[in-house]
Structure 1
C-alpha cells in the first residue's frame, strides 16, 4: 500500500551519498572503536587482529551485496523491519521491528554512559571542573535531542566534520608508523591463518563485528536520499569499504608498532592506553592529547547518528501503527520526525535514569551491559536481513542469483556464527559473568516475541508499507 499523499513525510532528496556515509561511519566511531575494541581484539586474538578485522569486513561485504540489491527495490525509513517484511513476511518483519527497537535503544543508552564518563574525565583534566557523570549524561541527551529535532542536513554537516577529524588523526598515526618502519620489517603475520585461528578467535571476532554496528542504517535514510535506488546501495558499499579498510589498516599498523613486543599481553594489561602509548611513541604527546579530545567528539557523533536513525525507525513503525501513530508526525519546517525524536529523548532519560538511581558505574554497567546487548541484537537483526534478501529474491526474481542468493547466504552464515559466538561469550562482551547481566540475551527473544504480538494487535489498522520499485 502506498503512503497517502495527504500524509506529510520526511524531506525528500535532501541527502546524497556522502551525507549518508557520514551518518554510517559516525555510527561506527572509527576513533572510539579503535581505542575501545581494538585493544580487546589484540588481547584475545593476538597478532592475528588485522586478519580478524578483515574476516569481519568480508562477511559484512557479502551480506551488503544482497542488502544493497534489495534496497534498490524497497525504499523506506523502516530499514530492516520493512526489508524483512518483504522478504520473510509480516510476522518476521514485526519480530525484526521489535529487535531493532531493542538494539538501537540499548546501543544509544549505553553510549550515553560512555560519553558521560569520557566527558566528565575531560572536563576534569582540561578545565579542572569536577562534574558528576549523571549531569553530563543529561546535558548531552538534551543536545542530541535538539539536533534530532532540526533538519537532517544539520546533523549530516556536524557528523561530516567530526568524522573527518577523527579519521585524520588515526591516518597520521598509520602514516607515521609506516614511515618509521623499515620495509624489511613489515610483517604480514597478522593475516596468516595460523595467527588468526587461535583459542581467542570467538571473542575477538565478536568485538570486531561490534565495530561495524550502524552500517545497516543506510536504508533508513532512503526516503530522504537523492535518487535512493542508487544512493542507498552506493552509500552501503562505500561505508563498509571505508570502515573495513580503515580498521584493517590501523590494526595492522598497531601490530607494526608493537612488533618487537608481546602485543597480546600489552593489550590485555593496559587496554585504555594501548593505542595512546603507540601514538605517543610514533607521533608525539601533543597528538595524543588531541586524540583524547577527539574521542569525546567521536562518541558524540555516534550518539547523534544513532538518535537520527532510531527516530526514523520510530517514524516508519508509527506509520504502520506498530507504535503510537503520533510518532509519525513530521516538523512543518524542518521535515524531521520531531515527535519521534522527542519521545526517544524521553525514553533515553528514563533508561539512563534507572542506572543513575541504582548508582551504577557509567562504563562497567551502563556502557558494557547495554552495548553488549545492542551488539547481539544488531547481529541477530542482520542475520534476519540476510535471510530476507534470499526470500525476497526467490519470491520476486528482482535480484540476480549472486546478489540475491549466494552472497547473502554466505554472509548470513557468517553473521549467524557471530550470533552464536556473541551468546556463548556474552560474559566477555559485557564484562560480567554473573548476576542479572547474564540474562540480557533473553531480551532479544522477548523483543522479537513482543514485536510479533504487537503486529497482531495492529493487524487491522491498515499498515503503510513502502513502494517496491
Structure 2
C-alpha cells in the first residue's frame, strides 16, 4: 500500500466519462425526471434543468479557476478549507461523505427495482430487488480496487450508448407530439416563480450531481490545469442540454397538462411507453437494458468519488490514516473503496430487512437527500472561492475570482433556501411530517461534528491540524508540512510540481 494516487492515467475524455456517468443521463431522464414530475406535481421540470445548468456554469467558473492553483482529490473539502478555514473545511468533508454515500447507495434501490421489473417477467423469475442490487454491489466492489483508467473505459462504453438512446427517444417523442403540438409550456420561465419550484430545482440539481467530481480526479489526470477545466464545462453543457431536451420531449409527447398524470401512472416506464409504438419491443428492450447499465455506471462512478474523498481525508489524518492508502499494484484508493463497499452492504441489508420500497424510500428519497448535500457544498464552495482569491488573487480576472463565484453563491443560496422550505413537497409527504427535517438535519449534525473534530485536532494533534487541506504535502515530514501550511497555497503548489 502507498499514499499516492496513480498519476497521468486520465485525459479529458476519461474524466468526462467518469463525471457524466455519475450524473447518469438515462437514469435522470427515465427515472429522475419522471419521478420528479410525479412526486412534486410540478410541470416546470424542463425549465428547472436548464436554469440549474446556467447556475452551475457560473459556479464552474470560480471552481475551475481554483483548481488551477490547488490540486487535491478532496475537491469541495479542500476548497472550503483554503477559502473559509480548516473547521469549515472539515465540516464540508463530513457533509460530502454523507452526500456522496447517499447518492451512491440510493442508486442501488433504483438498480435493483428496475432490473427486477425488467428481467423477472421475461424469464419467469421471482428474484427480489435486493438480490440484483447485491449482484451490482459485488461487481462495483471488484472494479473499485482496480486501475482507474479501466473503470473509465467501462464507463465510456456505457455512457456513449445511453446518450445515443436518449437522443433517439427525444427525436421520436418530438416527432409524435400530443394534440398540443410542439408546446413550449413546460419551458416557460414563469414556472420559476410557481409553487413547488424548490422541489423542482433540487430534483434538477440531483441530476447534475457528479459533474463537480472532475476535481476529485485531478491528481490522476494528465495536465490537470487544462483537463479539469475542459471536462467540467463539457459535463455541465452535455447534461444540461440533454436533461432539458429530454424532459421537455416527454411533456410534448404527453401534452404539458398531462405530463404529471402520465408520470404518476407510468413511473420510470413513461419514456419507454411513449416510444414503444414507434420503435417496437426489441428497441425498447435495448433501451431498458441501457437504463440498467446507466444505473450501474452511476454506481461505479460515485463509488470512485467516495473512495477518493476518503483517501484525501485519511492521507491528511482527518480520517484514520489507513484510509489514506492506495494499492501498490493499481494505484486505486483501496482502503476507501473497501470502506464504502462495506457501508453500502450494511444499508442494503437494512432496507431489505425492513421491506422498504426500493424506488421511493431508497432511490428517490436517499439520492435527493444526497443532492441536497451537494447543493450545500456548492453554496459553501462558491463563497470559499471568493474568500480564497481575496487573499491570493494570482493572475485570475475579477470575473473568475469574484463576480461569477459571488453570483453563484447568491443563486445557490436562494435555491437552497427554497429547497429546504419545500422539502416536504419534494419527498411527497405532508408539511408536518418529521421526514421534512430529518433528512436535512443529517447534514447539520455532520457539519457540527466536523467543526468539533477540527477543534479537537487543533488542540490534541496540531501537526495533523496544520496538514488539513495540503493534499500530497500532508504525507511529507512534519516540519515540511507545517512550513507548507504557513507558506500558503503557492508554496504547496510548488511542492507538488
TM-score, normalised via structure 1 length: 0.92
- Aligned counterpart in structure 2 of residue 13 of structure 1, from 4, 8, 11: 8
Matched residue of 1:422: which SS? Answer: helix
1:301 maps to 2:297: yes
- Aligned counterpart in structure 1 of residue 46 of structure 2, from 34, 46, 50: 50
Alpha-carbon separation, structure 1, partners of 2:343 and 2:153: 26
Gaps of 5+ in 2: 472-491
1:455 maps to 2:454: yes
Alpha-carbon separation, structure 2, partners of 1:436 and 1:202: 17
Match of 2:409 in 1: 412
Residues 436-468 of structure 1: CA distance to partner in whole angstroms, max 9, x if unpaired?
574121110000111122223333243261333
1:132 maps to 2:128: yes
1:24 maps to 2:19: yes
1:374 maps to 2:370: yes
CA contact (8 A) 2:116 2:128 kept: yes
Matched residue of 1:271: which SS? Answer: helix
Question: Cα distance, 1:415 vs. partner?
Answer: 1.5
Match of 1:401 in 2: 398
Gaps of 5+ in 1: 1-5
User: How many residues align structurally?
Assistant: 463
Distance change >3 Å, CA 249–CA 359, structure 1 → 2: closer
Match of 1:253 in 2: 249
Distance change >3 Å, CA 41–CA 343, structure 1 → 2: closer
Match of 2:485 in 1: none
Which structure 1 residue ranges, 4+ long, deviate > 6 Å from structure 2? none
Match of 2:476 in 1: none
Residues 140-178 of structure 1: CA distance to partner in whole angstroms, max 9, x if unpaired?
222101101100011101111111111111111122344
Matched residue of 2:72: which SS? Answer: coil
- Aligned counterpart in structure 1 of residue 330 of structure 2, from 327, 331, 334: 334
Match of 2:442 in 1: 443
Match of 1:319 in 2: 315
Q: CA RMSD in A?
A: 2.3
1:38 maps to 2:33: yes
CA contact (8 A) 1:37 1:207 kept: yes
Match of 2:483 in 1: none
Q: How does 1:47-446 map to 2 (within 5 A)?
A: 48-179=44-175, 185-259=181-255, 262-398=258-394, 399-433=396-430, 434-435=433-434, 438-446=437-445
Distance change >3 Å, CA 135–CA 328, structure 1 → 2: same
Question: Cα distance, 1:435 vs. partner?
Answer: 4.8
Question: Cα distance, 1:393 vs. partner?
Answer: 1.2
TM-score, normalised via structure 2 length: 0.87
CA contact (8 A) 2:83 2:383 kept: yes
CA contact (8 A) 1:432 1:438 kept: no
Residues 36-85 of structure 1: CA distance to partner in whole angstroms, max 9, x if unpaired?
22224545575543322211110111111111111111111111100111
